[in-house]
Structures are given as structure tokens and as C-alpha cells.
Amino acid sequence: MARKRNVWEIPVGHELTEMDRRILEFQERGKLVPTRDLIKTPEQIAGIRKAGVLNTDVLDKVQEMIRPGISTLDIDKLVYEYTTQHGGIPAPLNYEGFPNSCCTSINDVVCHGIPRADDILEEGDIINVDCTTIVDGYFADASRMFVVGGKTQPRWQKLVDVAWECLKIGEEVCAKPYVFVGDLGNAIAKHAHKNHMSVVRDLCGHGVGLEFHEQPDVEHFGHKGTGMLLVPGMTFTIEPMINLGHWQVCVDDDDPTGWVIVTEDYEPSAQWEHTYVMTENGVEVLTH
């Protein structure tokens, strides 16, 4: 594929706004700026917000059913039924060959775990359920961690908590527009490392809204001032995957689809995700 640098285009006859001026200034300094198509209209943001409301309802329903003894396929069935009965489509279903309606990632599964009838939740497991909902063509994407039975080993609980704090720290960096993806990645990685945990590098957050995965890549590590500039109207996820051991991950050998990502060292991994819209006053969560 041809590589092309993003250019902030000024349509013919278009009067420069304050936002144009600011973006052009960053572009002149060699920074990665968004393309105009990444800026959603108020109508599009309303659509993504609506998808976010249903996605949150689905995750609330999942939360109610999590307990020892259920299978991850039970979770998947609920996600499919609830989503479709309320006018939505589960985006994962048949997405690039993904066979189910949500991802269920237990313990050392980092992400993209596939729901199965023989995958039974046990007391003390930690599980991420990741749901993406399409409503009227708009996408919203979020995931939560659950501690099965409410209690797990202290170090695993700490992992779940630190992963949550990492998401909140990413959000705080985005408390104003015109920050860079690298700014939030840098802050997230610092927090993980301070807690002697690591950040998965092979998977990242992403633009979302009109499609499942759009520009930009939202890496959860990196240097300040690198990565894409985040400007009002952009919609994207933050979804740090934090490992208790080292950051290396691989495709699960036992998974014929090639989707399931596990930690190399068998230590657990935790992740929380929200969909956000950047505004003049910083990010707003669209999935709670």
C-alpha cells in the first residue's frame, strides 16, 4: 500500500477557523495531524453516542450475569440477544472472521478471547468482556474487567485496579484538546511501570465511529509529542492492556482462528476500554 502523509486540507473557498490555524501550525512543525474526514459532524457524534448508550446497557447486562459456573458462550448469547433486540448489531460478529458477538478474555488471555461453551468461569478468574455495538451504522466500543465471585489474589486485583487507573490517566491527559496520542501513551506507561507492570505494545486503541477501526492508532506507550494530534470532533478509544509480567504477547497456539492473544509468560493481563469524543473542553466518554 502506498504510504501517504496526513495533510490537513483547506477546501476551496473555506474561511480559516481557529481550529484550522492551530492544526496548520502543528502540521508546519512536522507533527502528525488528522485528516478532515476524522472530524465527526454533530450528527455523527449523536449517532456514536446512541450506539454508546446501547453498548453500555449491554455491558451492564453482562455485569449482572457474571458469576462462577457460567460459560463465556452464555455471555456471548446474552450480548447477541440483548443487542439485536434493542436495534443494534454486535460489531465483532463475522468481523474479519471473528466467530462471535463479543470478546471474552480470561486471566492470561490479553484480548480477542473467543466465547466457548466449555470455557467456564471460576471463582477468582479475572475476565475482560469487550463489546462493540453498531446502531444506525455508528460504532461504539468498550470493555470492562470482572473479578469472578468478587475476590481474587491480591496481585491480580492490583492488576485490575492499575489497568483502570491507566485508562483514567489517559483520559486526564485528554482533559484538553490539541494533545498528542504519545502524551497519553507516555503517561499510561509511566503509571504501569511505577507499579512494576508492563504495557502491551502489539495492540492499541483506535479511531472509531463510522467504522470499527479507524485512524489514529492509540498506543498506550511512547513519547510525548508523537503520534496523532487529537482535535475537537475526533472519536477514538483508549484501551490499555496491562500485564502483570512482561509485555510480550503471542497468538494462542490452541486457537485455530488465530484471533486469541495471550501473554507469553502465562501471567495475567487486564484491560478497560471506553469510546471518547474530543471536544473544545477535552474528552467526553460516550460509553457510560
The contact set with Co ion (CB under 5 A) reads 130, 141, 143, 237, 273
> How far is it, in rounded angstroms, from Cα 126 to Cα 85?
28
Cβ burial 203-232 (10 Å sphere, 16+ → b, else e): bbbbbbbbebbbbbbbbbbbeebebbbbbb
Q: Does 98 bind ligand MF3 (CB under 6 A)?
A: yes
User: Which residues on neighbouring strands pair with residue 128, listed in sequence order?
Assistant: 105, 145
Q: Which does 112 bind (CB under 5 to 8 A by kind): Co ion, ligand MF3, none?
A: ligand MF3
Q: Which does 219 bind (CB under 5 to 8 A by kind): ligand MF3, Co ion, none?
A: none
Nearer residue to Co ion within complex by CB, 8 or 272: 272
Nearer residue to ligand MF3 within complex by CB, 119 or 130: 130
Among 40, 49, 50, 112, binds ligand MF3 (CB under 6 A): 112
* DSSP 8-state code for residue 16: P
Q: Does 164 bind ligand MF3 (CB under 6 A)?
A: no
Q: Are 131 and 112 in contact, with CB atoms under 8 Å apart?
A: no
The candidate with the shortest Cα–Cα distance to 237, out of 272, 261, 262, 266, is 272
Footprint of ligand MF3 on residues 135-154 (CB under 6 A)? 141
Q: Does 132 bind ligand MF3 (CB under 6 A)?
A: yes
> How far is it, in rounded angstroms, from Cα 34 to Cα 24?
11
Q: Does 214 bind ligand MF3 (CB under 6 A)?
A: no
What's the min distance (Å) between Cβ of 14 and ligand MF3? 33
Q: Which does 95 bind (CB under 5 to 8 A by kind): Co ion, ligand MF3, none?
A: ligand MF3
Q: What is the pairing mode between strands 269-271 and 241-243?
A: antiparallel
User: Which positions lie near ligand MF3, rule CB under 6 A?
Assistant: 92, 95, 98, 103, 112, 130, 132, 141, 206, 239, 259, 273
